[in-house]
């Protein structure tokens, strides 16, 4: 279905392809050590720091019997000598079957996919898209709720720069979703995404207060305020701790509600939430391995 294709945006996938990938991820979650990538080499090119995304990709490749090469920061590559992204991609493509790339510039992944002779997987490009995070988010939502339809998704925090929010919103627009957006005025969802939802005929509401809206949520999707996206440190200081989720705030929630977070967290989820049965963010990170297994196996033609 995805053989030989790049994955740059979640919109590169149809609803049917999303569901099919989730089914493959479910299979891998039950039996992760399948040598379906034996003989394949995957490059992980991370021009921006990462822990979970990079390590989960590398874990996925290794568990499936493939090999990994690449770099964890641009300073250890020829980029530090002035090499262009074009030349880096064309050079690395000589050595591998697939390139996984994270880059701080929006649109870098799309550019890479246009010049690369091997498929590109976007592992995050600036504040734009993070489609593999979205797939693990969808997997986690379906795993905990039993469905992707007729859910209320409450997104909290940095909705302006949060690429995970933008990607998840677009993916969930394929389903019958009600959105609740909670952010300070400085970090509200960009108008382009509101227009996108309006075009899909999907309901959404915007608020600045968190506690009043937990009770109606099926998924509470917390995000950190990203220091690295602010050009003005004073603006960051003003909003960095605007929302902090405590365990006591979950008492009004549905028993089936789950708290997700793309991680890393800073202060936005207190540690007392970790012991709650509603806390699912560490399992969510584990699900990233299965989702990325499914994506790579499909693109490399090892799963239909």
Each domain of the chain, given as residue ranges in start order, spans 10-129+288-299, 132-285
Residue 54 falls in the annotated catalytic set: no
Known active-site residue 130? yes
Half-sphere exposure of 174 (CA within 13 A, CB side): 18
**Residues facing 7 on adjacent strands:** 121
Tokens of 266: 């800073």
Catalytic residue among 20, 44, 88, 102: 102
51 flagged as catalytic: no
Cα 164 to Cα 263: distance, rounded to the nearest angstrom: 10
pLDDT at 279 over 90: yes
What's the pLDDT tens digit per position in 170-182? 999 999 999 999 9
Measure the CA angle with vertex 278, ends 248 and 216; round to 5°: 75
The annotation status of 227 as a binding-site residue, yes or no, is no
Per annotation, catalytic residue among 20, 44, 53, 132: 53
The strands making up 98-103's β-sheet, listed across from edge to edge, are: 67-71, 41-46, 98-103, 120-125
- Assign 268 a pLDDT band (cuts: 50, 70, 90): very high
Spot the catalytic one: 20, 54, 103, 130.
130
pLDDT of residue 128: 78
Active site residue 292: no
Active site (annotated) includes residue 52 = yes
Average pLDDT score over the chain: 91
Q: Looking at 52, 178, 238, 286, which residue is catalytic? A: 52
pLDDT band at 234 (very low <50, low <70, confident <90, very high): low
Higher pLDDT, 74 or 123: 123
Exposed, middle or buried: residue 198 (CB in 10 Å: 0-12, 13-18, 19+)?
exposed
**Confidence band (pLDDT; 50, 70, 90) for 224?**
confident
130 is in an annotated binding site: yes
pTM of whole model > 0.75?
A: yes
The 3-class secondary structure across 2-36, one letter per residue, is CCCCCECCHHHCCHHHHHHHHHHHHHHHHCCCCCC
Q: Is 258 labelled a binding residue?
A: no
Fold for the domain defined by 10-129+288-299 = Rossmann fold (3.40.50)
Q: Which residue, 294, 299, 269, is CA-closest to 60?
A: 294
135-187: pLDDT as tens digits: 999 999 999 999 999 999 999 998 988 888 998 999 999 999 999 999 988 88
Rounded percentage of the chain residues whose pLDDT exceeds 70: 92
CATH class held by domain 132-285: alpha beta
Contact between 125 and 151 (Cβ < 8 Å) = no
Is 81 annotated among the ligand-binding residues? Answer: yes
């Amino acid at each position: 279905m995805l053989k030989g294709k790049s994955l740059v945006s979640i919109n590169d996938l149809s609803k049917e392809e999303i569901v099919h990938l989730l089914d493959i991820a479910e299979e891998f979650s039950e039996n992760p050590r399948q040598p379906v990538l034996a003989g394949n080499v995957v490059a992980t090119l991370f021009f921006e720091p990462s822990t979970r995304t990079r390590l989960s990709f590398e874990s996925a490749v290794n568990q499936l019997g493939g090999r990994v090469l690449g770099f964890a920061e641009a300073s250890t590559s020829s980029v530090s000598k002035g090499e262009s992204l074009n030349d880096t991609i064309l050079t690395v493509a000589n050595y591998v079957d697939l390139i996984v790339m994270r880059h701080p510039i929006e649109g870098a992944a799309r550019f890479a996919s246009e010049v690369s002779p091997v498929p590109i997987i976007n592992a995050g490009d600036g504040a734009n898209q993070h489609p593999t995070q979205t797939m693990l988010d969808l997997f986690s939502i379906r795993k905990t709720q039993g469905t992707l339809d007729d859910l209320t998704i409450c997104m909290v925090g940095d909705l302006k720069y949060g690429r995970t929010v933008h990607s998840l919103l677009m993916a969930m627009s394929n389903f019958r979703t009600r959105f609740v957006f909670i952010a300070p005025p400085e970090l509200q969802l960009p108008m382009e995404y509101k227009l996108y939802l309006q075009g899909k005929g999907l309901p959404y509401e915007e608020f600045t207060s968190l506690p009043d809206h937990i009770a109606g949520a099926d998924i509470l999707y917390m995000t950190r305020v990203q220091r690295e996206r602010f050009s003005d440190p004073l603006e960051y200081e003003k909003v960095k701790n605007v929302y902090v989720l405590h365990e006591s705030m979950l008492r009004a929630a549905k028993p089936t509600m789950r708290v997700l977070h793309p991680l890393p967290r800073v202060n936005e989820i207190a540690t007392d939430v970790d012991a709650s049965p509603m806390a699912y963010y560490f399992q969510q990170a584990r699900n990233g391995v299965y989702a990325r297994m499914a994506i790579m196996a499909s693109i490399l033609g090892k799963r239909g």
